[in-house]
Amino acid sequence: MEMAVEATAPGKAILFGEHSVVYRGPAIVIAIDKRARIVAESREDSRIYFDALDLGFSGYFEGTRYFPVRGKSWHGKRLRAILVTAHRTMEHIGVHTGLDIKVRSEIPVASGLGSSAAIFVSTAAAIGEVLGANLSLEEICNLALEGEKVVHGTPSGVDNSISTYGGALRYERDLGFDKIEPLGTFYFVLGNSKRRRSTKRLVLRVRSLYERHPKIIERVIETIAKTSDMGLDAMKKGDLPYLGELMNINHGLLAAIGVSITKLDSMVHASRVAGAYGAKLTGAGGGGCIIALTDSTHIDWINNAIRKCGGEPFPVNISKEGVKTRRIER
Ligand code: PMV
């Protein structure tokens, strides 16, 4: 019987430590219950066929050459990193075959929510299962990092790790990853500014500010790192009011290093007025999303407040589940 495999993996949001983590201290990151989904099955020929019809295109690669079926030939560029992940996965297993790969995702792209990593994690997991290789989570995570390198150059490895393992992680440059066990249920609302931004550009902008005002920015970075440490403590204790307050402080510090924009500030303030424990921008800033911490009773208020600012709200919880696969018999 023909067999396809569906793999899904979660996106992420950074709760504390964006930008400071580039220099020192931890980042605290959570998996969110918005997932990317890949359905893969092998083909008789050697083509790698992609159906990304949600994004408006489909086509196939013969070797490294892209042939569009729906859409334009430049759409092939947007598939290259998935192609690299697919090739690396097959090389790793030592079996090469043609593939049909269907790409779907509930995670907004280029918003700091780890949509590309979730796609690469799902791709490696689905292909592993199609080829009957029993890939470990560590292998899947490393293979997804190959796709991340194509997109981001020198990725920290945060996005593919959280997407593979799920839950919540503490990450620090020289120390790597530690799983966190948050206490209780956390309700968040993300607000998407719908402005795309480049993480690389924002990291460079912070570096240039650092070079111009080393004494001041050094202190800000240190203080952000402190909010991460204290935020981690608050998560472990389930102290939501305190956690919210730290998120507010962290947002102010991110604004001080120049990575907030008016729309993010508006959504952050409107969420607080609507009853959030706290709110801050999440990820590199310059666009992308905010994250508000709330209880279950204020979700609708915060949704409306974000909409009024022209943002797109979506409530999320921490996803305990990392990558998952399921066989589909045809
Ligand atoms: O790409 P994003 O939005 O998830 O932001 C990454 C976090 C930064 O600290 C800004 C950059 C980094 O490499 O840690």
* CA 84 to centroid of chain Cα atoms: 19
Query: Ligand 1 mean position to 269 CA, how many Å?
Result: 22
Q: How confident is the model at residue 202 (pLDDT cuts 50, 70, 90)?
A: very high
Q: Whose CA is nearest to atom 14 of ligand 1?
A: 22
Q: Which residue has the least CA distance to atom 7 on ligand 1?
A: 18
pLDDT tens, residue by residue, 85-121: 999 999 999 999 999 999 999 999 889 999 999 999 9
Beta-bridge partners for 36? 9, 105
Q: Whose CA is nearest to atom 13 of ligand 1?
A: 156
Return the pLDDT at 3: 84
Ligand 1: nearest atom to the Cα of 259: 10
Residue 154: the pLDDT is 79
> For the residues 193-218, what does the mean pLDDT come to?
95
Q: What are phi and psi of 43, to 5 degrees?
A: -115, 160
How many angstroms does the Cα of residue 196 sit away from the middle of ligand 1?
Answer: 14
Catalytic residue numbers, as ranges: 159
Candidates 14, 15, 16, 18: which one to mutate for ligand 1, based on the most atoms within 8 Å of Cβ? 18
Q: Is the pLDDT of residue 1 over 70?
A: no
pLDDT digits (tens, 9 = 90+) for 260-310: 999 999 999 999 999 999 999 999 999 999 999 999 999 999 999 999 999
Instruction: Indicate whether 153 pLDDT > 90.
Output: no
pLDDT at 80 over 90: yes
Q: Using a 6 Å CB cutoff, which residues line ligand 1?
A: 14, 18-19, 21-22, 112, 156, 199, 203, 283-284, 288
Whether residue 232 has pLDDT greater than 80? yes
Atom number, ligand 1, closest to the C-alpha of residue 288: 3
Give the separation between CA 38 and CA 79, rounded to whole angstroms.
13
For residue 6, what pLDDT is reported?
Answer: 98
What mean pLDDT is predicted for residues 195-224? Answer: 95
Model pLDDT, residue 2 = 67
| pLDDT of residue 236 exceeding 70 | yes
Rounded Cα gap, residues 248 and 230, in angstroms: 13
| pLDDT at res. 11 | 98
Average pLDDT, the chain: 96
Compute the average pLDDT of residues 248-268: 98
The rounded percent of the chain whose pLDDT value lies above 90 is 91
